[in-house]
Amino acid sequence: MIKAKVNINNERLKNSAEILRALAHPLRLQILEFIDDNETINVNKIYNTLKLEQSITSQHLRILRIAGVVLTKREGKFIHYSIDYPRVASVLKAVDAFLDAE
Protein backbone atom coordinates (compact mmCIF):
# COMPACT_ATOMS: atom_id res chain seq x y z
CA MET A 1 0.00 0.00 0.00
CA ILE A 2 1.35 3.41 -1.00
CA LYS A 3 0.99 6.17 1.53
CA ALA A 4 0.35 9.69 0.28
CA LYS A 5 1.91 12.59 2.09
CA VAL A 6 -0.75 14.90 3.48
CA ASN A 7 0.03 18.57 4.01
CA ILE A 8 -2.48 20.35 6.18
CA ASN A 9 -2.36 24.09 6.60
CA ASN A 10 -4.06 24.54 9.97
CA GLU A 11 -4.84 28.23 9.43
CA ARG A 12 -6.53 27.57 6.08
CA LEU A 13 -8.38 24.61 7.54
CA LYS A 14 -9.63 26.76 10.43
CA ASN A 15 -10.79 29.49 8.02
CA SER A 16 -12.54 26.94 5.82
CA ALA A 17 -14.31 25.43 8.82
CA GLU A 18 -15.52 28.89 9.92
CA ILE A 19 -16.96 29.61 6.48
CA LEU A 20 -18.69 26.24 6.21
CA ARG A 21 -20.02 26.56 9.76
CA ALA A 22 -21.41 29.99 8.90
CA LEU A 23 -23.14 28.66 5.79
CA ALA A 24 -24.46 25.49 7.43
CA HIS A 25 -26.99 27.07 9.81
CA PRO A 26 -30.63 27.25 8.62
CA LEU A 27 -31.29 30.69 10.12
CA ARG A 28 -28.11 32.14 8.62
CA LEU A 29 -29.13 30.71 5.24
CA GLN A 30 -32.51 32.40 5.65
CA ILE A 31 -30.78 35.70 6.47
CA LEU A 32 -28.47 35.31 3.46
CA GLU A 33 -31.43 34.60 1.19
CA PHE A 34 -33.17 37.73 2.48
CA ILE A 35 -30.04 39.84 1.90
CA ASP A 36 -29.71 38.34 -1.58
CA ASP A 37 -33.32 39.25 -2.40
CA ASN A 38 -32.65 42.86 -1.37
CA GLU A 39 -29.02 43.27 -2.55
CA THR A 40 -28.19 45.45 0.46
CA ILE A 41 -30.19 45.87 3.64
CA ASN A 42 -29.82 47.12 7.20
CA VAL A 43 -30.10 44.97 10.30
CA ASN A 44 -33.38 46.58 11.43
CA LYS A 45 -35.12 45.55 8.22
CA ILE A 46 -33.71 42.02 8.53
CA TYR A 47 -34.96 41.30 12.02
CA ASN A 48 -38.28 43.11 11.59
CA THR A 49 -39.13 41.37 8.32
CA LEU A 50 -37.95 37.91 9.40
CA LYS A 51 -39.56 38.40 12.84
CA LEU A 52 -36.36 37.66 14.74
CA GLU A 53 -34.95 39.15 17.91
CA GLN A 54 -32.44 41.91 17.26
CA SER A 55 -29.76 40.23 19.38
CA ILE A 56 -30.15 36.88 17.60
CA THR A 57 -29.98 38.57 14.19
CA SER A 58 -26.86 40.50 15.20
CA GLN A 59 -25.16 37.32 16.47
CA HIS A 60 -25.81 35.51 13.20
CA LEU A 61 -24.70 38.49 11.12
CA ARG A 62 -21.51 38.67 13.19
CA ILE A 63 -20.72 35.03 12.34
CA LEU A 64 -21.39 35.68 8.66
CA ARG A 65 -19.23 38.82 8.77
CA ILE A 66 -16.31 37.05 10.49
CA ALA A 67 -16.51 34.26 7.90
CA GLY A 68 -16.32 36.90 5.17
CA VAL A 69 -19.65 35.91 3.65
CA VAL A 70 -21.27 39.34 4.08
CA LEU A 71 -19.91 42.83 3.59
CA THR A 72 -20.86 45.83 5.69
CA LYS A 73 -21.17 49.52 4.92
CA ARG A 74 -22.00 52.10 7.55
CA GLU A 75 -24.35 54.92 6.62
CA GLY A 76 -24.92 57.17 9.61
CA LYS A 77 -26.17 55.02 12.46
CA PHE A 78 -27.16 52.14 10.17
CA ILE A 79 -25.02 49.25 8.99
CA HIS A 80 -26.02 47.85 5.62
CA TYR A 81 -25.26 44.24 4.75
CA SER A 82 -24.61 42.73 1.34
CA ILE A 83 -23.30 39.34 0.22
CA ASP A 84 -19.69 38.89 -0.86
CA TYR A 85 -20.65 36.93 -3.98
CA PRO A 86 -17.09 36.13 -5.16
CA ARG A 87 -16.27 34.70 -1.73
CA VAL A 88 -19.42 32.57 -1.61
CA ALA A 89 -18.81 31.39 -5.19
CA SER A 90 -15.25 30.31 -4.36
CA VAL A 91 -16.48 28.39 -1.30
CA LEU A 92 -19.14 26.59 -3.33
CA LYS A 93 -16.60 25.81 -6.05
CA ALA A 94 -14.22 24.30 -3.48
CA VAL A 95 -16.98 22.21 -1.91
CA ASP A 96 -18.08 20.97 -5.35
CA ALA A 97 -14.48 20.05 -6.24
CA PHE A 98 -14.12 18.16 -2.96
CA LEU A 99 -17.37 16.26 -3.50
CA ASP A 100 -16.45 15.46 -7.12
CA ALA A 101 -13.12 14.00 -5.96
CA GLU A 102 -14.85 11.22 -4.00
Residue 52 backbone dihedrals phi, psi, to 5 degrees: -115, 160
Q: What is the pLDDT of residues 37-67, one digit of tens each?
A: 999 999 999 999 999 999 999 999 999 999 9
Residue 72 burial (CB count, 10 A): 14
pLDDT at 31: 97
CATH code of the region 26-100: 1.10.10.10
pLDDT at 4: 65
Q: What is the pTM of this model?
A: 0.83
pLDDT at 51: 95
What percent of the chain lies above the pLDDT cut of 90?
Answer: 61
Domain locations along the chain: 26-100
pLDDT higher for 99 or 22?
22
pLDDT at 64: 96
Q: How far is residue 43's CA from residue 46's CA, in Å, rounded to a whole number? A: 5
